[in-house]
Structure 1
Amino acid sequence: MTRLGLPAFVGVPPYVPTVTAVSSPPLLPEAYARWQERLAQSFFAGRGHQPVVLFVDRDELQRLSDPGEDGARSLAAAVRDIVDVARGAGMFGRAQRLESLWRQGTRDMPPPTLPILALSVLAASEMRTDSSARRNAYYKRLVGILVPDSEDEAGEIRLLMALRNGGAFLAVVEMWEQLDRWLVEKDGAFGISTIRAGVANESRIGYPLSQTLVRRSDRAALTRFFSTARLKSAGVPSADSLLRMLRRWVTHRGHGLTDRFIESLHDDGVLPILGPLLHDLATAWDGKIITAEGLRRLDLRLALDLDDACGWWVISAVRDLPGDLLKGVSDGHPFEARITTDVHSTMYRTEGMPPVHASTLAAGLAARGERCVAEFQPAKVLVLASNADAGGWMSIDSVQPFEEHVFVAATDAARAVSQALRSAADPGWRPLDPAFTAKLLGSGFSIFDRVVFSDQERLDSALAAMPGALASGLRRGAAVRPRLIGGLPIDRRIAPNIYLAGGEPDLVLPVTDETRYVEVSLDGMASRLRASLFPIPLCRFQGGMESGEHTVNADEETLTFVVERGSIDDRAPENVASIGWVEGVLQENATDAVAICGAMISDAEIDRPELARRGSALTVLISAAGRMTKVSDPPPPTLPGLTFAFFELPSSTAVWLAQKRTAGWTVTKLRSAEPAFRGLTDADRALWEELYVGVQNPSPLWRLYGRAWERCRAR
């Protein structure tokens, strides 16, 4: 037996409670005291002012256990030393008395109920993720964990009824609330509580459930999202905004978040718990991208010189990590390598890295330091591109269209790669001599040089014929397919396909030598459209699009985009300076009570203005019919200290703005519309003659207007 005064963990004063009304501190069973100390060390030691999430599952408990010890069974047995499961509603009485005595002491260590709380989290971690099962299945799982080897079916039913219907679990709810009060009382010294008052639902499992939503690996993966969202530079948005941004982010990346976390993002019953927890993690983020081990992750990449037949390892540098001493094992031999920042390169300067071996390429390589871990992930096929900072060909994540690559393929994949290159790559690629490859990498690999992809359909066919494991790393090449262009994208760091309402993208259909029509479907509404050089403005469809995701189907291709009424990031925009409109007057230092500041305007329908340069000898608007409308410069605004080189054009359906200045004519496209010349006046014809000779605009649309004028002039 061990007294309640537990061994102190590093950096924390010893726990010596001052107890009144009893002659001596109570005794804790040794196994229970050992688990109390393990949990205190793992979740509260050195966590000052960081969110504390008491997440445990069987893997986490095994990590905390001694070799040969079954973590979950050991914890359950320790809890049964304190909890008398035969006492029904009073089964947690002894634990409550221990906690009461702890409250009378100095409370320099966590409450002596951590093993019970951890067991309640373990049960929540093993629940099914559908909402109907979550409420009813929790207590059954808790019983199965608490008495895993029981053969007393009637006793299990009595225990289940006591927990679920008899009020016994209310004692555990109170333990969670006590831990929350203690963390708040210590003012963040042991961490910031993520136990939310009032989250306990009708089944009273809200507290343990809240601790299962973000696992250790999720916290590491979220640091990449926080970096993408620029939390350190732009600040932390609201919990609701964070959730919306994260839901968009996970649809476009290999995010690394667990399936349980992704399901929680779309569970309305869990979001009131997850949102504040995510906000706490975002607020406490230190700006570093980490691995599940808590280390910065670095990409270890292969570099080759095909002229000198040599290979080496390179590591891309990251900010806030000037260097580290890395240790690892390569080809059975331990090594130490030092990385330091090179001010003249985007790569670290490395000393002591092992040579490149075929065995390492096949098995992978990892090197860990005190602050980071550098990893090379093995693959059957590696794609390399020229990189000046690497000093040769460097392995990359995917194929870039039209650029030259080198392929390194394992022997068992070389035949499939060779077939794919014969059918999909541009002519000119070649396999390197096997003797040269063996000298460079060792046995077991083939190298293909001068690989370029330019044809989409051939590459698609080749990838379809390859085993999935080989094709997974190859991004498809140049596309001659329907695509979305233009529009007014917002929040592009979160996802590339979010557009402001009214600024939806345009659809471009592939054009052939012959006229063709394409079946296009927008959100299920089908239409037959002609493919032409001019994009199809989706913003004109449906009388305005609703917020949310929209789908376009054309030429057997599915394109998706998202419409939002405003930015889903509710932080104040960066770099908007301090000029704003106050009561109709443009002022400096107008950061308070401004109506409009910078360029972000929420919940307002704003048409994009078209601007023309002041001081031109002649300004005309040109319609699709070829007719000209002269425009005069309006009087400049009278704002002290400000000059205006442009003026806003009047609203019109003009296609072109043409201005004659000292250097000659310039034309600017205002919108897309095919030419249909008719009704030109003599003045129009005179100006067209001048524009036809004086304007050298590379736009295909302008060339179409030039040919239309040629036909009109010939009539």
Structure 2
Amino acid sequence: MSAGADLALPPEYARWQERLAHEFFDGREGLPIVMFVDRDELSLLSDPGTDPVRSLSSAVKQLVRVNQGPSMFSHVLRQETAWLNGPQDKPPPTLPVLALSVLAASEMRSDASGASHNYYIRFSRALLPDGPDDLLESVRYALRGRGSFANVAGMWQRLDRWLGEQQGRFGNSTIPVNPPRSRIGFPLSQALVRRSDRAALTRFFDRLDMRGTGTPSPTALLELLKVWTHNRARGFSDRFVEVLEDPGVQDYLRPLVHDLATAWDGKVITADGLRRLEFRLALDLDRGKAWWVIPTAPGASSDLLEGSTDGVEFTVLVTPDPYSSMFETEGMPPVGSEALTRGLKARGSLCMAEFQPRRLLVMTDNADAGGWTSVDAIQAYEEHVFVVAPEVVSVVEGALAVAADPGWRRMDDGIATEMLHNYAIYYGVTFSNANSLEQAVQLLPESLAARIYLGTAVRPRLASGLPLHRNLSRNTYLAGGEPDLELPVGTEPRDVAVVLDGDKHQVFRATMFPVPFSRFGPYHEGTHTIEADGETLVFSVLSGSGGEYEPPGTGGLSWRDGELSSAKQGDVCGALAGEDSGTDVILARRGAVENWLVHRTGQATQLEEPAPPSFAPGVPFMYFEIRRDRGAWLLQKWSKGWHVTRLESGEPAFQTLGNHDRDVWREAAASVRTSDRLWPLYISAWERARER
């Protein structure tokens, strides 16, 4: 885009106009436009070897006459008038002046050049980087006292109007219509969110699960962002964290963050636009092995990542696996001491993967990874493994003694050291007492406690309960089975005012343990509201599923007068489980001639079908449950052939097969017919094993 080709712009000014137009307006259709400029951003746009601020100010002074007082911008305004009389198919020729005004706003903090509110001396310094004090004061007075900066404010307003007239062709304006700080509010609104902050915001949006639950209101979004960054920068710049708590600029920041959230495409990126991936540590405690895994990301493509660790360079090929939450990887480095203590990073043409070192790693079992895998947060009631650096072993062990449920153990140091280079490993760690956990966190050093995330909710949400009509309504619950409330958890104790149905007020401590709202009933049938952290959550209560209606997927069992029967007419009939429920087990049909559990190693273990339950005589039980972690596949032999059911995702890793393993494979491989695209990989592995 050549913005100055049809106008009589001086050469240096025209080059900057073209660079800025390309940087902020090319290829931005439908996206929010944030014209952020600071010294680092200018260095990316300027010629190599030049001082970016002096280069831009020199270009601007080709049209701006600083010695003409109130009319210093008259030549720029003439160029803008000529543009207004033309086709206006390119941005207005005022971009270098506007960029310089944002540069001044980006340096609005208390320093040697004046108090944080004194914007005009910074703009004067941007115009005249080497100007004497008396000239700087003269320009400052012309900008503020004699009103010449009103011309710059007008340029911002005309840019905003032009973007609106283009209907998103060059992007959507984030310039405020009536900024609270009047004229300087225009550049200030563009100086709050830099490129790295926009990348960090994509992580925040991802944690909010906005693609599934929608975008919160601007006010609620900013409040949740404050919780998210409480005592942890989360990758945001120091300046962004500073302005996030500044009431004077929140009126600018609130709509801007909301615009970015609304336009978010679901991708988590780095500051330079690469997809952000994570190395996560994985452990097999039984076999004493440690390795790296990389969770996949929505829409991610294959890439070749290059990095180095322990003085050795490595190249990792990552490929999305449609059957797994983890990338398929080739060329992963070993888990070395340098990566654990200093971190690990690998960069490709599309993605960048990183591991941030911690002195305390929290791990949960992950079937796709094939072992215990590092995660971001401790979850109530779930079993965890703790990996602890040697210098904090004693304090973490003391915290576990206070907070964890009985039954946790420390792994033999010899085995742990062989796996993880002097790190201690604790297994069987579960938390089911909120007060004890809070007490334990207070015992930890602040640097360590700040990295412990309790729970994963980053916005208030309804959880658990007995939902009805999931196919028709997201938040309808059976009376007596109302939902719990999960509150975002900060690194320090946080009290949240909660309002039920507009008139019942109570303050709750935000913890990883949900607030059991079902205990606050009874609730009348109809709609209820819960207000917390600036958001309003709505749920409905019904005493039954609604007459003769049977939701799709309900079974044939019901409760009537405290007895279980096979009649569908009862007090409670069937159930619809939540989206995440039942993922740990599968239902297998009874009556097979043989049942075999097949492992990733190719080895097969015969499975005895459990006896039918005896607590409900006369009720047919056609299925039995099998935990998914029992193996990779369930093979069932029927009179008409073999049937296979996938238990967990994972590529085959065949080992030596015994005679009964080979007999099972020989029969099943010739008989099984399935559309599961993972099964052919096992057939290929069997064929290779058969030839050995």
Match of 2:409 among 415, 420, 429: 429
- Secondary structure in 2 matching 1:250: helix
Aligned-pair distance for 1:366?
A: 1.9
Q: Distance in 1 between matches of 2:142 and 2:485?
A: 51
Distance change (3 Å), C-alpha of 1:39 and 1:396 = same
> AA paired with 2:501?
G
* Correspondence for 1:36: 17
Q: Distance in 2 between matches of 1:662 and 1:175?
A: 75
Aligned-pair distance for 1:41?
A: 3.3
Contact kept in structure 2, 1:382 and 1:408, CA below 8 Å: yes
* Correspondence for 1:27: 10
Distance change (3 Å), C-alpha of 1:342 and 1:546 = closer
Distance change (3 Å), C-alpha of 1:139 and 1:386 = same
Contact kept in structure 2, 1:300 and 1:374, CA below 8 Å: yes
- Secondary structure in 1 matching 2:217: helix
* Correspondence for 1:243: 218
Identity of aligned pairs, percent?
A: 44
Q: Distance in 2 between matches of 1:351 and 1:408?
A: 25
Distance change (3 Å), C-alpha of 1:495 and 1:658 = farther
Q: Is 1:139 aligned to 2:120, yes or no? A: yes
Matches within 5 A, 1:555-574: 564=536
Distance change (3 Å), C-alpha of 1:534 and 1:231 = closer
Distance change (3 Å), C-alpha of 1:476 and 1:243 = closer
- Secondary structure in 1 matching 2:329: strand
Tell me whether 293-302 or 210-219 shows the greater mean CA deviation: 210-219
| Deviation sequence 1:146-170 (CA, Å, 0-9, x none) | 33444433x3332222111212112
- The count of corresponding residues between Structure 1 and Structure 2 is 522
Contact kept in structure 1, 2:30 and 2:169, CA below 8 Å: yes
Match of 1:170 among 150, 154, 160: 150
> AA paired with 2:39?
R
Matches within 5 A, 1:121-136: 121-127=102-108
Matches within 5 A, 1:145-184: 145-153=126-134, 155-184=135-164
Distance change (3 Å), C-alpha of 1:40 and 1:394 = same
Distance change (3 Å), C-alpha of 1:220 and 1:453 = same
Aligned-pair distance for 1:80?
A: 3.5
Matches within 5 A, 1:63-142: 63-65=44-46, 69-101=50-82, 109-127=90-108, 137-142=118-123
Q: Distance in 1 between matches of 2:199 and 2:423?
A: 34
Distance change (3 Å), C-alpha of 1:372 and 1:76 = same
> AA paired with 2:189?
S
Contact kept in structure 1, 2:497 and 2:507, CA below 8 Å: no
Q: Is 1:305 aligned to 2:284, yes or no? A: yes
> AA paired with 1:17?
A
Aligned-pair distance for 1:303?
A: 1.1
Aligned-pair distance for 1:394?
A: 1.4
Aligned-pair distance for 1:449?
A: 4.7
> AA paired with 2:409?
W
Aligned-pair distance for 1:428?
A: 5.6
* Correspondence for 1:56: 37
Contact kept in structure 1, 2:17 and 2:94, CA below 8 Å: yes
Q: Distance in 2 between matches of 1:612 and 1:285?
A: 37
Q: Distance in 1 between matches of 2:244 and 2:17?
A: 32
> AA paired with 1:169?
F
> AA paired with 1:338?
L
Aligned-pair distance for 1:271?
A: 6.5
Contact kept in structure 2, 1:459 and 1:476, CA below 8 Å: no
Q: Is 1:295 aligned to 2:274, yes or no? A: yes
| Deviation sequence 1:508-553 (CA, Å, 0-9, x none) | xxxxxxxxxxxxxx569xxxxxxxx99974999xxxx99966xxxx
Q: Distance in 1 between matches of 2:218 and 2:115?
A: 22
Aligned-pair distance for 1:134?
A: 10
Aligned-pair distance for 1:61?
A: 2.9
Which runs of 5 or more structure 2 residues have no equivalent in the other structure? 456-462, 466-480, 491-495, 509-515, 552-558, 573-614, 617-692
**Pair member with larger Rg:** 1
Contact kept in structure 1, 2:410 and 2:427, CA below 8 Å: yes
Q: Distance in 2 between matches of 1:305 and 1:234?
A: 35
* Correspondence for 2:263: 284
* Correspondence for 2:447: 469
Aligned-pair distance for 1:111?
A: 3.5
Aligned-pair distance for 1:379?
A: 0.9
- Secondary structure in 1 matching 2:282: strand
* Correspondence for 2:328: 349
Aligned-pair distance for 1:79?
A: 2.9
Distance change (3 Å), C-alpha of 1:398 and 1:222 = closer
Distance change (3 Å), C-alpha of 1:538 and 1:453 = closer
Distance change (3 Å), C-alpha of 1:350 and 1:43 = same
Q: Distance in 2 between matches of 1:242 and 1:523?
A: 22
Contact kept in structure 1, 2:361 and 2:374, CA below 8 Å: yes
Q: Distance in 2 between matches of 1:136 and 1:401?
A: 46
| Deviation sequence 1:227-257 (CA, Å, 0-9, x none) | 5666656776xxxx62133145335535766
Matches within 5 A, 1:236-385: 242-250=217-225, 252-254=227-229, 274=253, 277-278=256-257, 280-385=259-364
Aligned-pair distance for 1:100?
A: 4.3
| Deviation sequence 1:121-142 (CA, Å, 0-9, x none) | 122233359xxx9995222332
Aligned-pair distance for 1:364?
A: 1.0
Aligned-pair distance for 1:43?
A: 1.6
> AA paired with 2:138?
R
| Deviation sequence 1:541-573 (CA, Å, 0-9, x none) | xxxx99966xxxxxxxxxxx7784x75xxxxxx
- Secondary structure in 1 matching 2:316: strand
> AA paired with 2:281?
L
Contact kept in structure 2, 1:488 and 1:499, CA below 8 Å: no
Distance change (3 Å), C-alpha of 1:123 and 1:205 = same
* Correspondence for 2:649: none
Contact kept in structure 2, 1:297 and 1:372, CA below 8 Å: yes
Tell me whether 108-117 or 249-258 shows the greater mean CA deviation: 249-258
Contact kept in structure 1, 2:64 and 2:73, CA below 8 Å: yes
| Deviation sequence 1:82-130 (CA, Å, 0-9, x none) | 422222112123333444455566666543332211111122233359x
Contact kept in structure 2, 1:195 and 1:210, CA below 8 Å: yes
* Correspondence for 1:650: none
